[in-house]
Structure 1
Amino acid sequence: MKKILLGAAALAVMAAPAFAADMPPRPYTKAPAYTAPQVVYNWTGFYVGGHVGGAFAGDNSLQGSDARFLGGVQGGFDYQFAPNWVVGAEAQYSWLPNSNNNGVLFPGGTLVTSNTDQIGSVTGRLGYTWGPALLYAKGGYAWRDSNNLGVSVAGVPAGFTTNGNHKDGYTVGGGLEYMFAPNWSAKAEYQYYNFGDTTFTSGPADIAGRTFRNDEHSAKVGVNYRFGWGGPAAPRY
């Protein structure tokens, strides 16, 4: 029996090379190309933030043409759909600490001063996003503090009346927002505010009957913090 087992083992060893030679070669397969994960940005959710910039009165305004510092806060909600469109709503408040206290001097010697140091808006906005960037337009209701007009001649206050209190108006604008880190975005924005026209219905002769536009142009940069939803989502392969 021992001789038989040894003989069988010897035959197996001798037959192995021949069997291996009869096997077809293993085909070469190239490793699949590496595909980087796709980062998905999600704009849906609430946010709060702050902004700084400048305000510039329009032509024929009692505010004058000099730039005034502007700073404030904003908050809102965005919803992303379809899949690259974003719709939302935003409330914004700005403070203008250096309003036009010097006034406008008219040829007859009448000095008119105005002081608008708070301005706000509640707007809808619609945007298109690609990757971390969002290009948007906005528009809606605008508000400002009471336009504290003052009229004086040679330093002596003078009586006057106007056609109404222009606190309420409208605003339109647009901007670009960019997600630079999870939950954080930065924006640059232009916004125009219009509060109608003010007409002096009575007062010194050089201002009585004159009409002035109440509008503001603003340029702002800001930062938003997005709660939970903002920023890159999980990688998609």
Structure 2
Amino acid sequence: MTKLLLGAAAALMLAAPALAADLPRPTAAAPASAPEAVYNWTGFYVGGQLGGAFAGSDTIVGSDGRLLAGVQGGADFNFARNWVIGVEAQYSWLPSNSSGSLLYPGGTLLTEDTSGIGSVTGRLGYSWGPALLYGKGGYAFRDNSLSASVAGVAQPITASGNKRDGYTIGGGLEYLFAPNWSAKVEYQYYNFGNTTVSSGPAELVGTNIRNDEHTVKAGVNYRFGWGGPPVTRY
């Protein structure tokens, strides 16, 4: 019996390495994924902007290269994680010397003055981290007047065509630089159609004016409780 037990023990000792080789090896646990910062653009905002307005090449002479300052407000909705849709109202004041004029022989002068431009637009953007690249477009309006004079004396005139209502398109980049605060730069084009002088001094009748503006603006927005510190997701 003793010899039998010793033989069985010896056989088990010889077979142990082979059995151990067939056992599954323990695997290391996969490292936990790093947290990802997700910014939320949903909410309301108000802000201000500064920039410049540049009239199109066919616009009345002298109305190019003006400073502007304005305000804006709107609301955004963050959907599908990286996509943002929103609406924005904006108004910009132009300085008092923003008028353009056409001078004719004999001292006849046609003057157009634009004191402000505004818009109500929708916008669609794509966000990555704290940055948002967006396009915008919609309704545009302006405060302007058209007048004429001969040798400094005001003359009555009438004009046809769209002068105050139009459309606008543009785009820009916005960046969340602090809790509740964002900064943006954007380009916006405004088109108000053409204006044609239909009656007044003979030299002016038939004069056609193209009404468009190119603007470049930089602005800052305050966001009411949204767009601050990112949410951490794992």
Place the TM-score, normalised by the shorter chain, in its bin: 0.7 to 0.9
1:81 aligns with 2:103: no
1:158 aligns with 2:155: yes
1:193 alignment counterpart:
190
Distance of 1:171 and 1:107 partners within structure 2: 36
SS of alignment partner, residue 226 of structure 2: coil
Mean Cα displacement is larger for which, 152-161 or 189-198? 152-161
Which of 203, 207, 226 is matched with 1:206 structurally? 203
Contact 1:54–1:219 (CA under 8 A) maintained in structure 2: yes
Contact 1:108–1:206 (CA under 8 A) maintained in structure 2: no
Q: What RMSD in Å do the two structures reach over aligned CA positions?
A: 2.3
User: How far apart are residue 33 of structure 1 and its match?
Assistant: 5.8
TM-score (norm 1): 0.80
1:119 aligns with 2:117: yes
Which of 218, 224, 228 is matched with 1:227 structurally? 224
Contact 1:68–1:98 (CA under 8 A) maintained in structure 2: no
Contact 2:41–2:227 (CA under 8 A) maintained in structure 1: yes
Spell out, residue by residue over 1:179-224, the C-alpha distance to the aligned partner (whole angstroms, 9 max, x if none).
Answer: 1112111100111111111001122233211211111111100011
Residues 1:192 and 1:107: Cα distance change in structure 2 (over 3 Å): farther
How high is the sequence identity, in percent, across the aligned residues?
Answer: 67
| 1:45-60 pair list within 5 angstroms | 45-60=43-58
Contact 2:44–2:223 (CA under 8 A) maintained in structure 1: yes
User: How far apart are residue 36 of structure 1 and its match?
Assistant: 4.4
SS of alignment partner, residue 149 of structure 1: strand
Between the two proteins, the alignment pairs up a number of residues equal to 210
1:174 aligns with 2:137: no
1:8 alignment counterpart:
none
Return 5+ residue gaps in structure 1 as ranges. Answer: 1-28
Mean Cα displacement is larger for which, 47-56 or 163-172? 163-172
Contact 2:194–2:210 (CA under 8 A) maintained in structure 1: yes
Mean Cα displacement is larger for which, 147-156 or 34-43? 34-43
Structure 2 counterpart of 1:82, which letter? A
Mean Cα displacement is larger for which, 108-117 or 187-196? 108-117
Residues 1:167 and 1:101: Cα distance change in structure 2 (over 3 Å): closer
User: How far apart are residue 104 of structure 1 and its match?
Assistant: 2.6
Contact 1:100–1:113 (CA under 8 A) maintained in structure 2: no
1:70 alignment counterpart:
68
In terms of fraction of residues, the more strand-rich structure is: 2
Distance of 2:140 and 2:100 partners within structure 1: 25
Distance of 1:125 and 1:171 partners within structure 2: 12
